[in-house]
Structure 1
Amino acid sequence: MKRDAEETRPGHKELGRVLVAGGVLAGEWIPAFEAVPRAAFLPELIWPFDMETGRSVPVSWSAEPGVWSGYAEADVPIVTQWDDGAHTGTEPGEVATSSASMPSVVFRMLRDLDVRPGQRVLEIGTGTGWNAALLAQRAGSGQVVSVEVDPGVAERARAALDRFGCVVEVVQGDGLLGHPAGGPYERTIATCGLRELPFAWVEQSRPGAVIVAPWGTHHGNGDAAVRLVVADDGASATGRFTGPVEFMKARAQRLSPVEHSAYVGEGERETSGTTVTERDFLGEGRFAPQRFAVGLRVRECVQVVAEKRDGRRAVWLYGLTDRSWACVQFRDAGSAQVWQAGPRRLWDEAEAAYRWWEENGRPGHGRFGLTVRPGGQWAWLDDPEGADAWPV
Structure 2
Amino acid sequence: MPLHRCDDPQEWMQRAYAPAAVITQVDDGHPAGPGQRGRYITSSASQPNVVALMLNALDAATGMRVLEIGTATGYNAALLAHRLGSQNVTSVEIDPDLAEHARRALATTGYPVTVITADGTQGYPPHAPYDRIMSTAAVQQVPYPWVAQTHPGGKILTPWGTPYHNGALASFTVNRDGTAEGRLVGNVAFMFLRDQRIYASIDDNECDQTTARASHTNVAPYRVAGDYDAALAIGRKVPDCPVITVPDPAAELTGTLWFIDPTTDSWANLHYQPNTTTYPVHQSGPRNLWDEIETAYHWWRDAERPGPDRWQITITPKGQRVTLTDTTTPTGAAP
Alignment TM-score > 0.5, same fold? yes
2:25 is the alignment partner of 1:81 = yes
Q: State the match for 2:218 in structure 1.
A: 275
Q: 2:92 aligns with which of 119, 128, 147?
A: 147
Alignment of 1:200-279 (within 5 A): 200-220=145-165, 222-234=166-178, 236-258=179-201, 260=203, 264=207, 270-279=213-222
Deviation at 1:216, TM superposition (A): 1.3
Is residue 126–residue 146 contact of structure 1 (8 Å, CA) maintained in 2? yes
Q: Which moved more, 1:59-68 or 1:240-249?
A: 59-68
What one-letter code is carried by the residue in structure 2 that aligns with 1:107? Answer: A
Is residue 216–residue 280 contact of structure 2 (8 Å, CA) maintained in 1? yes
CA distance in 2 between partners of 1:103 and 1:75 (Å): 6
SS of corresponding position for 2:242? strand
Q: What is the TM-score normalised by the length of structure 2? A: 0.86
Q: Deviations over 1:110-148 (max 9, x none)?
A: 111110111111101111111111111222230111011
Q: State the match for 2:256 in structure 1.
A: 314
Compared with structure 1, are the counterparts of its residues 120 and 260 closer, same or farther at alpha carbon in structure 2 (3 Å cutoff)? Answer: same
2:243 is the alignment partner of 1:303 = yes
Q: Deviations over 1:148-173 (max 9, x none)?
A: 11111111111111111113111111
Q: Which moved more, 1:124-133 or 1:191-200?
A: 191-200
Q: 1:351 aligns with which of 279, 294, 308?
A: 294
Q: 2:267 aligns with which of 296, 306, 325?
A: 325
Q: 1:103 aligns with which of 25, 48, 51?
A: 48
Deviation at 1:90, TM superposition (A): 7.3
SS of corresponding position for 1:74? coil
SS of corresponding position for 1:112? helix
Q: Deviations over 1:171-199 (max 9, x none)?
A: 11111111011100110011112222211
Counting aligned pairs with the same residue, the percent is 39
CA distance in 2 between partners of 1:270 and 1:60 (Å): 48
Deviation at 1:369, TM superposition (A): 3.2
SS of corresponding position for 2:164? coil
Compared with structure 1, are the counterparts of its residues 373 and 268 closer, same or farther at alpha carbon in structure 2 (3 Å cutoff)? Answer: farther
CA distance in 2 between partners of 1:323 and 1:60 (Å): 39
Deviation at 1:89, TM superposition (A): 9.3
Q: State the match for 1:372 in structure 2.
A: 315
How big is the alpha-carbon RMSD for the aligned residues of Structure 1 and Structure 2?
Answer: 2.7
CA distance in 1 between partners of 2:175 and 2:61 (Å): 19
Compared with structure 1, are the counterparts of its residues 92 and 366 closer, same or farther at alpha carbon in structure 2 (3 Å cutoff)? Answer: farther
CA distance in 2 between partners of 1:127 and 1:217 (Å): 22
Q: 1:66 aligns with which of 6, 10, 25?
A: 10
CA distance in 1 between partners of 2:36 and 2:211 (Å): 44
CA distance in 1 between partners of 2:325 and 2:18 (Å): 36
Q: Deviations over 1:311-331 (max 9, x none)?
A: 643323334553443333334
Q: 1:166 aligns with which of 111, 118, 122?
A: 111
Is residue 136–residue 144 contact of structure 1 (8 Å, CA) maintained in 2? yes
Deviation at 1:92, TM superposition (A): 4.4
Q: Which moved more, 1:351-360 or 1:145-154?
A: 351-360
CA distance in 1 between partners of 2:279 and 2:303 (Å): 24
Compared with structure 1, are the counterparts of its residues 258 and 103 closer, same or farther at alpha carbon in structure 2 (3 Å cutoff)? Answer: same
Compared with structure 1, are the counterparts of its residues 89 and 103 closer, same or farther at alpha carbon in structure 2 (3 Å cutoff)? Answer: farther
What one-letter code is carried by the residue in structure 1 that aligns with 2:270? Answer: V
User: Where do 5+ consecutive residues of structure 2 fail to align?
Assistant: 328-335
Compared with structure 1, are the counterparts of its residues 320 and 89 closer, same or farther at alpha carbon in structure 2 (3 Å cutoff)? Answer: closer
Q: State the match for 2:137 in structure 1.
A: 192
Is residue 214–residue 282 contact of structure 2 (8 Å, CA) maintained in 1? yes
Is residue 216–residue 281 contact of structure 2 (8 Å, CA) maintained in 1? yes
What one-letter code is carried by the residue in structure 2 that aligns with 1:357? Answer: W
2:83 is the alignment partner of 1:138 = yes
CA distance in 1 between partners of 2:244 and 2:222 (Å): 16
Between 1 and 2, higher relative CO (CA 8 Å, sep ≥ 6) is seen in: 2
Q: Which moved more, 1:320-329 or 1:106-115?
A: 320-329
Alignment of 1:111-122 (within 5 A): 111-122=56-67
Is residue 79–residue 99 contact of structure 1 (8 Å, CA) maintained in 2? yes
CA distance in 1 between partners of 2:34 and 2:285 (Å): 44
Deviation at 1:72, TM superposition (A): 2.5
Aligned length: 323
CA distance in 2 between partners of 1:170 and 1:253 (Å): 22
Compared with structure 1, are the counterparts of its residues 128 and 296 closer, same or farther at alpha carbon in structure 2 (3 Å cutoff)? Answer: same
Compared with structure 1, are the counterparts of its residues 338 and 174 closer, same or farther at alpha carbon in structure 2 (3 Å cutoff)? Answer: same
Q: What is the TM-score normalised by the length of structure 1? A: 0.74
Is residue 244–residue 259 contact of structure 2 (8 Å, CA) maintained in 1? yes
User: Where do 5+ consecutive residues of structure 1 fail to align?
Assistant: 1-56, 385-392
Q: Deviations over 1:277-335 (max 9, x none)?
A: 12322226xxx332222112212323332224646433233345534433333342241
Is residue 137–residue 191 contact of structure 2 (8 Å, CA) maintained in 1? yes
SS of corresponding position for 2:60? coil
CA distance in 2 between partners of 1:208 and 1:183 (Å): 14
SS of corresponding position for 2:272? strand
Compared with structure 1, are the counterparts of its residues 281 and 117 closer, same or farther at alpha carbon in structure 2 (3 Å cutoff)? Answer: same
What one-letter code is carried by the residue in structure 2 that aligns with 1:66? Answer: Q
Q: Which moved more, 1:369-378 or 1:115-124?
A: 369-378
SS of corresponding position for 2:147? helix
Compared with structure 1, are the counterparts of its residues 65 and 264 closer, same or farther at alpha carbon in structure 2 (3 Å cutoff)? Answer: closer
Is residue 243–residue 366 contact of structure 1 (8 Å, CA) maintained in 2? no
